[in-house]
């Protein structure tokens, strides 16, 4: 007996109609987006008129002054050959408050000195901790000086020796 092999039905191929529809919609959407931006209907396009105002064309001077703090030398516990921390900073202050901040510099130095003495040596040696310590010091200085008097604390020197 001969076995007649029934040919297996071939799988039906999917239609490419959805692919062509998607491609056509993508081209229409891209072209429409290009037209909207180029015609200036959407702000910031190449076709939009942009006339810079005076504030954009010239750099306005900042209304800040920098008040230098006296350098601090903090004695560290004698471990790992590091005996001292040398620290110096400047405070960013609006011009209107420079005299007031200058008058309370001893209080500011006292707060920073107390904070830096309380920080663990391992934390002082960690470079990633400097940003957190800076924000902690800035917050303490702002509390001492009062609201709006100190904008920022810039660390000029932070050396373990």
91 vs 31: CA distance, rounded Å: 53
Maximum average pLDDT range among 48-62, 118-132, 145-159: 145-159
User: Start-end ranges of CATH 3.30.479.30 in the chain?
Assistant: 64-160
Measured CA angle at 115 (ends 64, 119), to 5 deg: 125
Judge whether residue 47 has pLDDT over 60. Answer: no
- Tell me the average pLDDT of the chain: 83
Mean pLDDT of 24-45: 78
- 11-15, 46-50, 70-74, 125-129: the lowest-pLDDT one: 46-50
Q: What residue has token string 């020197």?
A: 157
Over residues 79-118, the pLDDT tens digits come to: 667 789 999 999 999 999 999 999 999 999 999 999 999 9
Q: What confidence score (pLDDT) does residue 108 get?
A: 97
- The architecture (CATH level 2) of 64-160 comes to 2-Layer Sandwich (3.30)
Prediction pTM value:
0.61
Sequence-ordered strand ranges (E) for the chain: 64-68, 72-79, 82-94, 152-160
């Amino acid at each position: 007996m001969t076995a007649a092999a029934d040919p297996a039905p071939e799988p039906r191929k999917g239609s490419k109609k959805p692919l062509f529809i998607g491609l056509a919609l993508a081209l229409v959407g891209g072209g429409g987006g290009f037209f909207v931006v180029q015609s200036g209907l959407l702000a910031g396009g190449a076709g939009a008129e942009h006339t810079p105002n005076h504030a954009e064309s010239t750099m306005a001077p900042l209304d800040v002054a920098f008040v230098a703090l006296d350098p601090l030398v903090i004695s560290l516990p004698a471990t790992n050959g590091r005996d001292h921390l040398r620290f110096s900073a400047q405070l960013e202050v609006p011009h209107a408050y420079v005299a007031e901040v200058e008058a309370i510099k001893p209080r500011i130095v006292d707060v920073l000195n107390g904070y830096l003495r309380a920080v663990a040596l391992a934390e002082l040696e960690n470079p990633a901790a400097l940003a957190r310590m800076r924000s902690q010091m800035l917050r303490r200085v702002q509390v001492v000086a009062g609201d709006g008097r100190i904008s920022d604390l810039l660390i000029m020197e932070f050396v373990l020796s």
